[in-house]
Structure 1
Amino acid sequence: MKIKTSLVGAFACIAAPLAWAGEMTVSGTGHGQADNTMHAVAEGHMLVELRTIYDDFQLDDPANPMNGMTGPCFGAMEVKAGAVAGGGRCLYTDADGDMVSMQWTPSGLGADGAVTGDWSVTGGTGKWVEASGSGDFSSLTDPGTGRNVNTVSGTVTLP
């Protein structure tokens, strides 16, 4: 009985990381609390300090290892004559306790005021050490409450 149990446990330890291997579609929504500071430079020119603590990411595929991630995103953005520049980083912790580092780059503002742009995986721990991937985001913060909704899409590959 001990041998059978040990073999089952050993197989589970080997097979678990393999369940996440390969390319996965990322599609879902993160929810968090933003603490952004606007700095007016001149008419039509603004610098924005951005910081959001995400308390949950819900992806369309509940088995995706990014589902349920939490953690901070921070950075800065410049808006000048309608053009957007800047960027930042995110450090998320997944349900297994592994961390993934991401980079984000804003490229525009939506009609609703959402910041739009691109994200990419830059490293991490555990399953994220050699991960790669990228996609798009649309991040909208309610100015009254600071609640943020970040809609993401793209692909991630875990070796």
Structure 2
Amino acid sequence: MKTTFTAAAIAALLAAGHATAQAYTSDGTARGQSQTEVIEVGADHQFMNVRATYNRFEMEDSTNPMNKLSGPCFGVLEVRGGAVEGNGVCVLDGLEGDRVTLGWNARRRDPQGNIHGYWHISSGSGLWLQASGGGTFMSSVNPANGTATNTLRGAVTLR
């Protein structure tokens, strides 16, 4: 038996395959507590072993699957002559029990001490198994009490 597909049928099949993908704007804020170990190397050169445990992500779009994620983010920053570079990972759990890992790369520090950089989805389970996406972040920590606030911009797609 020979099967012939028209252009319209092929387009319909392709559209059906993409219909399961759901895109979300991932603008929001994560709040938690931070702990930082500073290792001095020399004058104006240090490494920072950072860890923040976020108790809740609050996304502007409440239907975003990142909304209400929680868990630790950790990594290492090198600060030299005012320049910042570093990377790490976040291992986050959703309310549905699925897990997503986000990679992050720090690229600069502003005059207020906030760290700016990029984040991306590395891997995940369940809902996050074939997810993709990323964006930018700005992380700030109150040195008096360790309160961490991470402002995210970007997008994610679930497949």
1:85 aligns with 2:71: no
Report what 1:132 is aligned to.
132
Question: 2 CA distance for matches of 1:35 and 1:120?
Answer: 23
SS at match of 1:36: strand
- Count of equivalent residues: 142
Report what 1:59 is aligned to.
59
Question: 2 CA distance for matches of 1:128 and 1:110?
Answer: 32
- Given that 1:55 and 1:70 are in contact with CA atoms closer than 8 Å, whether structure 2 keeps it comes out as yes
SS at match of 2:62: coil
TM-score, length-scaled by structure 1: 0.86
Report what 1:110 is aligned to.
110
Question: 2 CA distance for matches of 1:142 and 1:45?
Answer: 21
Deviation at 1:23, TM superposition (A): 1.6
Report what 1:38 is aligned to.
38
Report what 1:28 is aligned to.
28
Report what 1:147 is aligned to.
147
CA RMSD of aligned residues (A): 1.6
5+ residue gaps, structure 1, are 1-18
SS at match of 1:40: strand
Question: 2 CA distance for matches of 1:78 and 1:65?
Answer: 32
Q: Which amino acid aligns with 1:138?
A: M
Larger Rg: 2
5+ residue gaps, structure 2, are 1-18
SS at match of 1:145: coil
Deviation at 1:20, TM superposition (A): 8.1
- Given that 1:20 and 1:65 are in contact with CA atoms closer than 8 Å, whether structure 2 keeps it comes out as no
Question: 2 CA distance for matches of 1:107 and 1:86?
Answer: 7
Which contiguous aligned blocks of 4+ residues in structure 1 show a shift greater than 3 angstroms? none
Percent identity of the aligned residues?
38
Question: 2 CA distance for matches of 1:20 and 1:116?
Answer: 33
Report what 2:4 is aligned to.
none
Question: 2 CA distance for matches of 1:125 and 1:157?
Answer: 14
TM-score, length-scaled by structure 2: 0.86
